[in-house]
Every structure is written in C-alpha cells, then in structure tokens.
Chain A
Amino acid sequence: MSRPEPTDGLGPWLQFLCRACGLIYDEAEGDPDGGLPPGTRFADIPDDWQCPVCGVTKSDFEPYAGRRPNVPGAAEPAPRPRKAGIVIVGAGIAGWSVAEAIRAHDADVPLTLVTACAGDAYHKPELSIALGRGLTPERLRREAGADKAARLGVRLMADTFAIGLDPARRRLRTTRGTLAYAHLVLAQGAAPVVPAALAPELCWRINSLTAWSALHRALKLESRICVVGAGMVGCEIAEDLARAGHAVTLLDLAPLPLPGLLPAPAGARLAAGLAGAGIRFMGGVRVAGLARRPDGTLALATDAGTLDADHVISAIGLATESRLARGAGLAFDRGIVVDGATLATSAPHVHALGDCISIAGAPCRFIEPIARQAEVIAHAVLGLPHADYVHSAPVIRLKTRARPVEMHGTPAPRAPWQIVQDTPDRLAMEQRQDGRLIARLAL
C-alpha cells in the first residue's frame, strides 16, 4: 500500500501505541473504518474516536518508539540445536571451565550455557584486590561472554534464569523456555548470605563482576565504608578499600578476624596487620539494622552503637541456592551433593562442580579444584575414560598485603595449635593429631 508523504510541514508521520491493547495508530495510514483518512495527525483525531480493536479513546494512546529488549547481553541467542546436547547452568569460572574442557575433546556436541548475567569471563579472586590496584570493569573482563561463546561454539543464553528441573524427562525450565538435555552440568555457584538485619537494597555483596562494577561506579573518593563479616572475602575487601583510600570499618561477631580459620594468636596478629593498613576492626559486634538517612548516608545500627557510612558491604558468607536442586529432588546438604569421585549428583545425567557442590557434607569454595573437576565432568559426559576426581584441601591464601596468610591442610576445628615460630615478622603455627601434622599456617 502506498503511503502519502507528509505535506503539512509537521515532519514525518508519527506512530502512537494503544496502552490497552497494543494497537499502533500510524498517522500515514489513519483509520479509514473509524472515519480517519490516511494522513490524519494524532492531534487532529476527535476525542470521541475509539481504538478500532479495544474501544479505548485517544487519551489512552501514547507516542510509540518501540519496546525491543534493551538489556545488554540479552540479544537473541543462537538457534536452538536440533538434538539435545549438553546444557551448563552458570557462566562463572566453573561453567566456562566445563565448556572449554568439553570443546577441547569434542568440537561438535551441542553446548548451551544458561547464565543469569551477561556471561563475561573474569577471574573472581581479582575482585577483592582490584580497587587498590586501580582496575576498572573493562580491565577485569577478560573476554565478553558473547565473544567467548562464539569462539567456543556455545549457545549462550544470557540474562536467563534456570527455574525448574525435571531429571526424569531431562528437561531444564528457564525464563527463556524449556531446554532438553542429554547431560546437565550445574555450575550455579553460591550466593552471598545477607544478614536478616540488613536490607538487600541498601548493602553491597561483592560476588560477581556485575556487583563489583556497580560498587566501583558508586564509590566516591574517600568514602566511609563498613564491611560486615571478617572472613576471607571481608578481610580482603576491607584491605583493598583501605588501600584505595577509603575509611574502612570491619565488623565481626567474633572477637578476631578469620574466626573459623585462625587460632587466637594468628587472629590477633592479622588484626594488628589490618590496623596497620588503616582499618578499624571491631570484633564481638552484632549488626542490628541498616537505614538510609534523608541526606543519603547510611546508619548501621549495632550493639556497639550506630555507625555512619556511605556504603555498607555484607561479607558474612556464601550459601548455595537450593530451590532448583531441591525442587528436582536432588540430594542437598549445604550444597548439591555430588559423588566425590565422579562429581555426579543424585540424579542421572546431572553433574555439578564449583561453589555449588558439597562433598561429604562440606562445600569447597576455592578456585584451585575447579579445573580438575571440569576435566572429570567433561570426560564423563562425552563418555571418555578418565581417572577419578580426588578432592584435597586447597592451600588457602589470604591476599591481605599488610599481613598475608597461608594455610595448608585441613585444620580440625577444636584441636589445639602450637606455635613453631614467633618473631615480629613471622608467626608460624601447626596442628597435630596423634603426632601427625594435619595443618600449618604462617603469617
């Protein structure tokens, strides 16, 4: 149909959207059946004219400029594979490691990666030392998710959430449709736990490049920051923020930092190191509430008084989101239960790795085992022979530059520690059981 050209000097024809039914009124086309000849400007439509589909009047129309998705990374994924292949949930180090391990052995098997974020590849441990080094989100991002997916031949479903799992029928329900799979690999990670007293919309949790980038954007020079929780992430982030010039208060319920890990003499030395880095450590303190004041600053209520802050970061620990696994009947015990040798979950054709799993009742949230886990799973899903996975406690390194901590072995929670060296520069301790060395640490 030929469209009349505007001759009224009012510019190009415009379109208007019916807010009720979605009909688009196009000035070029008018509404001949409703008495509006082609070329009728919206302004000239009489007030009693009705939407030809749903009957609302002109006042329920609005200028129309399109509503296509504008979420970065949410572009239409590549076409769905014709046969069910391998589906991976999660695009952190664990998810991408499995994708790479599979592609190293099989160039053709259809691979789909479902991720809640854009799928950008980054090295998560860098997030807790990046501010002090003046890094930016661009520097931290090693490869854009879409580029990495194209390079590996992976169908990336970004900004997509895994909602439900039917292991018997091998179907994964997501917010962009239901996927059939031959094998499913869960690499969904663990999410920061937020204390009940802190409203999630007021406190940061730094467990993804997305969250780190948002904090990076929000930070102003010399901000006052409270970090709640003096575990590994809390200590590292506190020192990184202090190094970047911010005034940092680090709080924990326990009297000393790294309470679950370090014996008291080591904790005291770490606390001194943190103080030397300019951090105010407050041990034995419970947070009670968080509110935003009219001037935009935050009031962090604690049993030791109210603290003023520009930002509050919660770092009290991680937990595996259990809804997907439990809903599918997968065994779950502080994480998705996997076989320690095969990394198979309790459901057939479903493996899991990384932060989301638990082996013998214990989660293991370190980077080192992930590459070995990914190799074992890649071989299993491709039907290739491979030695069993062997779990061992990774070396723990606390990247606080003022007082780095290194720990080997698996300490027993209540067993005593002996000091083997105590000089102003170095404290070394060890733990023995029946004469056998089970853990040692130095800082």
Chain B
Amino acid sequence: MAPNAAVRTADPALPAAHAVPAGGWSDAAVLAATAAVADGPLSAAATRIDHGEYPLPILSALGEAGALGVHLDRHGGRFGLAISAMEAASRACGATGFLMWAHDVCGLYLEQSGNPALSGALLDDHVAGRSFGGTALSNPMKAFSGIEPMLLRARPVPGGYRVTGTLPWVSHIGQGQYCGAIAGVERADGTVSHEIMFLLRCDEPAELRPCPQFSGMEGTSTWSLRLKDYLVATDDLIADPARPFVGRIRGAFILLQTGMALGVAQGSIDAMLAVEDQLGHVNQFLDDRPADLAAELAELRAAIQRLALTPYEGSKDYLLDVLDARAQGAEFALRAAQSSLLHQGARGYLASAAPQRRVREAHFVAIVTPALKHLRWEMARLSRDVLPAEGVPA
C-alpha cells in the first residue's frame, strides 16, 4: 500500500521525476498557468462546454500546467494547490472544474492503489493530461453510507473477476478512457462477501450508452455504462477489499470537490461586480451583496485550505469538518449564483448570460454525489452514538 501519512508537506521540491517540465511545478507557476488557461481559452469556451463540447484540449493544457497532479504524493501532496487550481478553472466554467475533480480523484485512486501496473506510465500520462479518466463512485459511495444498493456485481474467476451491471451516468469517460469503479463480490449463494475497486477501461466490451439530455454541463462526456461479464484482471485492481481503501481516501475525495464550489461562487461574485458601475445604485438594495459574499467566501476558502493540509486524517471530527465544508460550499454557491442573477437583472436572464449557466452549475455542485442531502445524512450518521445493541458499523 502507498504511504498514508496524516500530514502532507506542501514542499514542491519533493522528488517529482514524472512528467514535470524542467522549470518544475512550483505553486506560483501552477496557479499562473492555470489562470492563463481559465482566463483565455476556457472563458471563451464556457458556453460551448455547457452545451456539449467536451474540452479535452483544455484539460491537456491544465495537465501540462500541473493542475491535474499536484495533489499526488509524487508531486508534493499539495491538496490546497489542487483545490485552488480547480477553483480558478471553475470560476470560468463549472463543468471543467467538475472534469478536473473527476480526473484528480482518478489519479488519486491510481497512485494510492500501490499497484505498480497502475501507478507507472499510465499515471504519468494521466497527470500530464495525455490520457483521461474519471470516477464511477457515485453509486458505491451512497451504497457504503446505506443510501442505496450497489449496482455492479463481481464474481471471482481465475486471474481476476467478472463484473456485471449498469451505472446510469458516469462522467469524463469515452473510448480510450477509463474510470475507477467498485463492485460487490458475490458468493455462490448470491450474498456479497466484500467489494473490489478497479480501473474500468471504457473500450469494448464495456458499453457506453448516451444519457438523456441534462439541463446544463453537457460537455462532461457523461454516459450510461453497461458491463456484462467484464473481465477485471488482477493488474487493474485498485483495492481488494475496497472498503478500507475508500475509508482512507474519502476525506480527500470529498474535500477536492470544494474547488468547484469556491470557483462557481467566485465567478458569481465577479458577475455582480461587473455590473456595479451601471447598476450599483439599485443593487445596493439587494441581500447578499458582493462584499458580504466575498468576506464569507474568504472565510470558507481559508477553512478549506486548512483542511487540505491533512487530507488523509481519519478522525471523526476531521471527516465532519470536511463534510461540513463541502455542504457549506454547496449552499454558498447556490446563494452566490442566485444573487449574481439578481444583481445582473435582465442581462443575467439572457439565455447566453454567465449567471444563467452558474445557477445550473451551482445546483450541480449541490446535487452531485455527495449531494447536500447525502452530506447531511452522512454527518448525522457519523454523529450518532454507537451502542452495543444497535451498533452501526463505522
């Protein structure tokens, strides 16, 4: 297994021999290069991405900038920097922020797997934005919390497992791409013995089927994924059993999502300030003015950056703090996006207006797994007393 230190240094001078340009990925260089992408090509493409353009060239550029790999142990375990980069991109385009998150956690799975077949050249290409993959953990995360049943089922076969089942929507996948997935392993009598986590390669025989149209963020390459006796070779196993692995990375998985919320909220504040000269004389009567929101956002960002110093801490209090920060991010993004539309008035109501898109992005932040309601469910579950007769497994 990979090292599991509770405290990660933010030292970029750690050995980083993989795919890093000669100049290195200093914090400042990563942020500057990410901002250049966000303010340039990504801002220009945001509406097209919302309507269905899958921005792989932009993700390649972000990979080259280091924005998709600095959270990994091999690049200094800089979670705070990864979140800041995701915030910068999400400020321009929430869908791209979401793709970065999916890509980031997929890289995390590969590295933390400790499986040499997954953490070599494959991971180097992934980090550099030369290959792409996401995560299919929405259903298993809910299954582990007791919210819904596990959809993929596996049975042991010589050399690995055969997996069958359908996942309704998985993002950032396509032909030649991949994602982390989890299946319940069935015994001969149909009961589940444990779960496995594996790298699912999205080529034949895995079947990608189109999803119904969503109301926004259509450029996330989201597909229904159908498996029938799909062979998982031992080389593609991320964790067997999966539960201890998922328990270890869960805080990091959820914390990384806060970059989306921060960015969508910051973009919303930008949109309010953009009309202050013309509309400030009437906007002064609105709730949630940009200065109020900016102060609150700064506090939330600082709290998230503190949590990002110890992404693998396993205590209950830490996990509650992460869930709370993620829930606050969702609630705050919703408030900020709505307020930005009110501040922009009619121009924000145009179909092409950024606040229109951000209202949908903010709602996505609040409903993507773990959704606001799942976060609260999980915080309640973690907070309940464990008693002998009614003991709930942690």
Interface residues of A (CB under 8 A from B): 19-21, 51, 53-57, 60, 62, 116, 159-161, 163-164, 169, 173, 175-178, 191, 200-205, 208, 210-211, 214-215, 217-218, 311, 323, 327
On whether A60 and B166 interact (CB within 8 A), knowing A53-B212, A175-B383, A178-B331, the answer reads yes
Q: Is A201's CB under 8 angstroms from B391's CB?
A: yes
Q: Which single member of A20, A160, A178 contacts B151 (CB below 8 Å)?
A: A20
B169 near A: Cβ within 8 Å? yes
Q: Contacts A159-B380, A161-B379, A175-B376: A55 and B388 contacting too (C-beta < 8 A)?
A: no
Contact A200 B386 (CB under 8 A): yes
Residues on the A chain within 8 Å of B328, using CB: 164, 173
Beta-carbon contacts under 8 Å, B219-234 to A: 224, 226
Q: Within 8 Å of chain A (Cβ to Cβ): is B148?
A: yes
Q: Ordered nearest first, which 9 A-B pairs have the shortest CB separation? A: A54-B168, A201-B391, A56-B166, A20-B168, A161-B383, A55-B224, A175-B380, A175-B376, A200-B386
Is A163 touching B379 in the complex (CB atoms < 8 A)?
yes
Q: Within the assembled complex, what's the spacing in Å between the Cα atoms of A223 and B388? A: 15
**Bound-state Cα–Cα, A378 to B219, Å:** 56
Chain A hits for B211, CB < 8 A: 54-55
Contact code string B197-232 (vs A, CB < 8 Å = 1, else 0): 000000000000101100000000000101000000
Instruction: Specify which chain B residues have a CB less than 8 angstroms from the CB of A57 in the assembled complex.
Output: 166
CB distance B383 to A116 under 8 Å? yes
Interface residues of B in 341-394 (CB under 8 A from A): 376-377, 379-380, 383-393
Given contact pairs A20-B168, A175-B377, A205-B385, enumerate 14 new A-B contacts (beta carbons under 8 Å).
A19-B149, A20-B151, A21-B168, A56-B224, A116-B383, A160-B380, A161-B383, A169-B296, A175-B379, A176-B376, A201-B391, A204-B388, A214-B387, A214-B388
Which residue in B166, B327, B376, B389 is a CB contact (below 8 Å) of A20? B166
Task: Indicate if B317 sits at the interface (CB-CB under 8 A).
Answer: yes
Tell me how far the C-beta of B164 lies from the nearest C-beta in chain A, rounded to whole angstroms. Answer: 9
Residues of A within 8 A of B212 (CB): 53-54
List the B side residues contacting A164 at CB < 8 Å.
Answer: 324, 328
Contact (Cβ within 8 A) A116 B389: no
From A207, which residue of chain B is reached at the shortest CB distance?
Answer: B385
- Judge whether A218 and B168 touch: CB under 8 Å: no
Residues of A within 8 A of B383 (CB): 116, 161, 163, 175
- Tell me which residues from 122 to 148 in chain B have a Cβ below 8 Å from any Cβ of chain A: 139, 148
- On chain A, the residues within 8 Å of B52 by CB distance are none
Shortest distance from the beta carbon of B165 to any chain A beta carbon, whole Å: 7
Indicate whether A217 sits within 8 Å of B166 (C-beta atoms), given known contacts A54-B224, A323-B317.
Answer: no
Q: Please tell me if the beta carbons of B387 and A173 are within 8 angstroms of each other in the complex.
A: no
- Let me know if B320 is at the binding interface, CB within 8 A: yes
Partner of A173, one of B226, B327, B377: B327
Task: Report whether B151 and A60 are in contact in the complex, using a CB–CB cutoff of 8 Å.
Answer: yes
Say how far B173's CB is from chain A's closest CB, in angstroms.
Answer: 15
Most chain A CB inside 10 Å of its own CB: which residue of B139, B386, B388: B388
Cβ contacts under 8 Å, A19 to chain B: 148-149, 151
- Name the residue on B nearest A191 (C-beta): B385
Interface membership of B321, Cβ < 8 A? yes
Instruction: A53 to B168: give the CA distance in the assembly, Å.
Output: 9
CB distance from B169 to the nearest CB of A (A): 7
A66 to B328, alpha carbons, bound, how many Å? 30
Task: Give Cα distance in the complex from A163 to B379, angstroms.
Answer: 8
Is B45 interfacial (CB 8 A cutoff)? no
Contact residue range for chain B? Answer: 35 or more
Known interface pairs A201-B391, A211-B385, A327-B321. Does A20 touch B139 (Cβ–Cβ under 8 Å)?
yes
B117 an interface residue at 8 Å Cβ cutoff?
no
- Measured CB to CB, the nearest residue on chain B to A71 is B380
Report the nearest B residue to A168, measured CB to CB. B299
Contact between A203 and B167 (Cβ–Cβ < 8 Å)? no
B166:A204 contact, CB within 8 angstroms: no
- Alpha-carbon distance between A51 and B209 when the two chains are bound, in angstroms: 12
Would you call B151 and A202 a contact (CB within 8 A)? no
- B residues less than 8 Å from A163 (CB atoms): 320, 323-324, 327, 379, 383
Select from chain B the residue with minimum beta-carbon distance to A177: B376
Identify 6 residue pairs between A and B in the complex whose beta-carbon atoms are under 8 Å apart, listed by A's number.
Answer: A20-B139, A20-B166, A116-B383, A175-B380, A200-B386, A211-B387
Chain B proximity of A104: nearest CB distance (Å): 32
With A19-B151, A201-B386, A323-B317 already in contact, the answer to whether A55 and B331 are too (CB < 8 A) is no
- Docked complex Cα distance between A155 and B133 (Å): 48
A161 near B380 with CB under 8 A, answer yes
Alpha-carbon separation in the docked complex, A53 to B211 (Å): 8
Q: B168 touching A56 by the CB < 8 A rule?
A: yes
List, in ascending order, chain A residues with CB within 8 A of B317's CB: 323
| B376 cross-chain contacts in A, Cβ below 8 A | 175-177
* Chain A residues whose CB sits within 8 angstroms of the CB of B167 once the complex forms: 20
What is the bound-complex CA distance between A184 and B392, given in angstroms? 31
Q: How far is the CB of A56 from chain B (nearest CB, A)?
A: 4
Smallest CB gap from B303: residue in A: A327
Q: Which residue of B lies closest to A322 (CB)?
A: B317
CB atoms of B388 and A202 under 8 A apart: yes
Please, which residue of chain A has its CB at the minimum distance from the CB of B385? A211
Interface core residue of A19, A177, A200, A203 (most chain B CB under 10 Å): A19
Residues of B within 8 A of A201 (CB): 386-388, 391-393
CB-defined contacts of B324 to chain A, threshold 8 Å: 163-164, 173, 327
Q: Which chain A residues border B169 with CB–CB below 8 Å?
A: 54
A102 to chain B, nearest CB (A): 26
CA gap between A20 and B327 in the complex, in Å: 23
CB pair B388 A218 closer than 8 Å: yes
Find chain A residues with CB under 8 A from B296 CB. Answer: 169
Report chain A residues within 8 Å CB of B209. Answer: 55
**Closest CB of chain B to A58's CB: distance in Å?**
11
Q: How many angstroms from the CA of A215 to the CA of B385 in the assembled complex?
A: 14
CB neighbours of A191 from chain B (8 A): 385
A56-B168, A218-B389 known; A116 and B379 CB under 8 Å? Answer: no
Across the interface, do A55 and B226 meet the contact criterion of CB distance under 8 Å? yes
Instruction: Report the Cα distance A205→B384, complex, angstroms.
Output: 13
A55: contacting residue among B166, B320, B391, CB under 8 A:
B166
Residues of B with C-beta under 8 A to A56: 151, 166, 168, 224, 226
A295 to chain B, nearest CB (A): 16
Cβ of A213 to closest chain B Cβ, rounded Å? 10
Residues of A within 8 A of B323 (CB): 163
* Residue of A21, A116, A176, A201 most packed against chain B (CB within 10 A): A201
Q: Mark B293-317, 1 if CB is under 8 A from A, else 0.
A: 0001000000000000000000001
B392 CB to nearest A CB, Å: 8
Residues of A within 8 A of B327 (CB): 163, 173
By a CB distance below 8 angstroms, the chain B residues around A211 are 385, 387
Decide if B165 touches A60 in the complex (CB within 8 Å): yes
